[in-house]
C-alpha cells in the first residue's frame, strides 16, 4: 500500500508529514519505556523482518496481490510506540533506496501504514487479551484478529486522505468499496503471517513478546488459610533459548526471505496499485525522485540476472534496515538509561 508521489496533493501531504513527524517524536519518547537491553536489538530485527516479508507479495484475487504492512506484528512484539518507529524505518529505507513509496508521500505512508495499523491493531489486541483467558494461545489468536482488522483500517485511512486531497476526480464511494474489499482479503494474509511469527517467538522466548508481558499469572499458595503470591517460577526450558540465538535465527530468516524466497513472490499489482489503475486514481502519478537509484524497484543496476539482482537487493535492504533500526533503538535505549541516571536536582544547599 505504498502511496507514490502524485496521488495526494501537496497541502494534504504536508499536513500528514507534520502528523507523521509528531507521531514519530511521541513514539521516540514512548519507546524509552518499552525498550530494554534485550528488546532494543530485537526491535531492529523486527524492522528488518518486516522489510523482508514486505517483498513477498502473495496473490489474493485475480490479478491482485498483497503484502505485509507490519504494524500489528511490530506493536505486539516490541510495543506500539516502538512499532511505529519500526515501520517508519522500513518506509524510509524503501523510499530512499528502493524508490518504493513517494518521498513527498512519506508522511502519507507513515500515517497510513505505520500509525494507523499500529494504533488500531494494538487497541484491538489489548481489548481481546483482557476479555479472553490469559494464555499464550490467547496472544496468538488476538494477534491474528488485530492484524486482520488493521489492514482494512489502513485502507479506510487512505480513502479518507484521498477524499481530502486526492488529485483526480473519482467517486470516493467506489474507492472505499474497492479498497476495503481487496484489503480484507490482504488482511487474512497479514493475520496469518503475524500470528505465525508471534506464536514462533512465544514458543522460544515468551518474555521477549511485549504483548505477552503482563499475561503471566502469579501462582497462589494457601498459607495459614490465606492466599499469597508464590515465588516466581523458573523460566521454562523453551524460554531459555538465548537472546543471541533468537536474533541470529531471525536475521538468517529475513535474509533468506528477502534474498531467495522473494524471487517467487507474486508479480501482480498490490491492492492499492490495482484499485488505482481500475478507478483512475493513478492518472497524475509522478516519477519517483529516487527512480535512478542503483537499487530502484528492488534490483541491482547493471545486473541482468533477475534472480541475482533481486536477491542481492533484498539482502542489502535487510542489512541496511537492521543496522539503521538497531542504531535508532540503541540510541533510544541509551537516552532512557541516561535520563534514569540523571540527578533529580543539580543544586544542594549547604550550611556551616
HEC sequence for 277-332: HHHCHHHHCCCCCCCCCCCHHHCCCCCCCHHHHHHHHHHHHHHHHHHHHHHHHHHH
Average of per-residue pLDDT values in the chain: 89
The candidate with the shortest Cα–Cα distance to 164, out of 280, 13, 274, 19, is: 13
The predicted model gives 229-245 an average pLDDT of: 56
Q: Which tens digits make up the pLDDT trace of 176-221?
A: 999 999 999 999 999 999 999 999 999 888 888 999 887 654 445 5
* Residue-level pLDDT at 22: 98
The predicted model gives 151-163 an average pLDDT of: 97
The predicted model gives 231-241 an average pLDDT of: 47
β strands within the chain, DSSP E: 58-61, 64-66, 220-223, 226-229
Q: Which residues pair with 227 in a beta bridge?
A: 222
Residue 129: is its pLDDT beyond 90?
Answer: yes
Record the pTM. 0.89
* Residue-level pLDDT at 242: 79
The predicted model gives 65-72 an average pLDDT of: 97
Please give the Cα distance from 128 to 145 (Å, whole number).
9
Where does residue 120 rank: exposed (0-12), middle (13-18), buried (19+ CB within 10 A)?
buried
* Residue-level pLDDT at 236: 46
Residue 233: is its pLDDT beyond 50?
Answer: no
Give the pLDDT band of residue 295 (cuts 50, 70, 90): very high
Give the pLDDT band of residue 228 (cuts 50, 70, 90): low
* Residue-level pLDDT at 239: 44
Question: Under a CB-based contact definition with an 8 Å cutoff, are residues 53 and 193 in contact?
Answer: yes
Q: Which of 65-79, 265-279, 324-338 has the lowest mean pLDDT?
A: 324-338
* Residue-level pLDDT at 225: 62
* Residue-level pLDDT at 336: 65
* Residue-level pLDDT at 352: 36
The predicted model gives 289-315 an average pLDDT of: 94
Specify the fold of 10-339.
Arp2/3 complex 21 kDa subunit ARPC3 (1.10.1760)
* Residue-level pLDDT at 84: 98
Residue 300: is its pLDDT beyond 80?
Answer: yes
The candidate with the shortest Cα–Cα distance to 50, out of 17, 2, 3, is: 2
Domain definitions of the chain by residue range: 10-339
Dihedral angle computed from the Cα positions of residues 102, 107, 111 and 113, in that order, rounded to the nearest 10 degrees: 20
Q: What percent of the chain is predicted at pLDDT more than 90?
A: 76
Q: Which tens digits make up the pLDDT trace of 83-116?
A: 999 999 999 999 999 999 999 999 999 999 999 9
Residues in the chain: 352
Give the pLDDT band of residue 234 (cuts 50, 70, 90): very low
Please give the Cα distance from 297 to 289 (Å, whole number).
13
Question: Under a CB-based contact definition with an 8 Å cutoff, are residues 335 and 100 in contact?
Answer: no
The predicted model gives 39-60 an average pLDDT of: 95
Residue 237: is its pLDDT beyond 90?
Answer: no
Give the pLDDT band of residue 174 (cuts 50, 70, 90): very high
- Burial of 269-304, coded b for 16+ CB within 10 Å and e otherwise, reads bbbbbbbbebbebbeebeebebeeeebbebbbeeee
What are the cell numbers at 254?
529475513
Q: Which tens digits make up the pLDDT trace of 311-320?
A: 999 999 999 9
Amino acid at each position: 500500500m505504498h502511496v507514490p508521489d502524485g496521488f495526494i496533493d501537496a497541502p494534504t501531504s504536508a499536513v500528514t508529514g507534520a502528523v507523521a513527524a509528531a507521531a514519530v517524536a511521541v513514539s521516540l519518547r514512548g519507546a524509552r519505556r518499552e525498550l530494554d537491553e534485550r528488546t532494543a536489538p530485537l526491535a531492529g530485527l523486527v524492522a528488518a523482518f518486516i522489510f523482508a516479508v514486505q517483498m513477498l507479495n502473495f496473490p489474493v484475487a485475480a490479478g491482485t496481490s498483497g503484502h505485509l504492512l507490519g504494524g500489528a506484528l511490530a506493536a505486539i512484539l516490541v510495543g506500539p510506540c516502538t512499532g511505529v518507529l519500526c515501520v517508519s524505518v522500513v518506509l524510509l529505507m524503501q523510499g530512499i533506496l528502493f524508490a518504493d513509496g513517494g518521498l513527498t508521500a512519506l508522511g502519507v505512508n507513515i500515517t497510513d501504514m505505520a500509525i494507523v495499523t499500529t494504533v488500531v491493531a494494538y487497541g484491538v489486541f489489548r481489548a481481546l487479551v483482557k476479555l479472553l483467558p490469559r494464555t499464550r494461545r490467547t496472544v496468538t489468536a488476538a494477534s491474528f484478529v488485530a492484524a486482520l482488522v488493521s489492514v482494512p483500517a489502513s485502507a479506510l485511512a487512505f480513502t479518507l486522505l484521498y477524499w481530502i486531497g486526492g488529485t483526480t476526480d473519482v467517486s470516493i464511494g467506489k474507492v472505499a468499496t474497492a479498497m476495503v474489499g481487496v484489503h480484507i482479503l490482504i488482511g487474512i494474509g497479514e493475520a496469518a503471517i503475524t500470528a505465525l511469527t508471534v506464536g514462533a517467538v512465544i514458543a522460544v522466548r515468551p518474555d521477549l513478546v511485549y504483548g505477552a508481558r503482563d499475561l503471566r499469572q502469579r501462582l497462589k499458595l494457601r498459607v495459614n488459610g490465606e492466599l499469597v503470591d508464590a515465588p516466581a517460577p523458573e523460566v521454562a526450558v523453551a524460554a531459555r533459548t538465548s537472546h543471541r540465538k533468537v536474533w541470529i535465527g531471525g536475521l538468517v530468516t529475513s535474509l533468506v526471505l528477502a534474498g531467495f524466497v522473494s524471487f517467487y513472490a507474486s508479480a501482480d499489482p498490490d491492492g492499492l496499485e490495482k484499485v488505482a489503475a481500475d478507478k483512475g486514481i493513478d492518472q497524475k502519478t509522478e516519477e519517483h525522485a529516487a527512480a535512478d537509484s542503483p537499487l530502484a524497484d528492488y534490483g541491482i543496476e547493471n545486473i541482468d540476472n533477475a534472480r541475482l539482482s533481486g536477491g542481492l537487493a533484498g539482502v542489502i535492504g535487510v542489512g541496511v534496515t537492521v543496522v539503521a533500526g538497531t542504531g535508532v533503538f540503541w540510541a533510544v535505549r541509551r537516552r532512557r538509561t541516561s535520563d534514569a541516571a540523571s540527578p533529580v536536582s543539580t543544586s544542594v544547599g549547604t550550611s556551616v
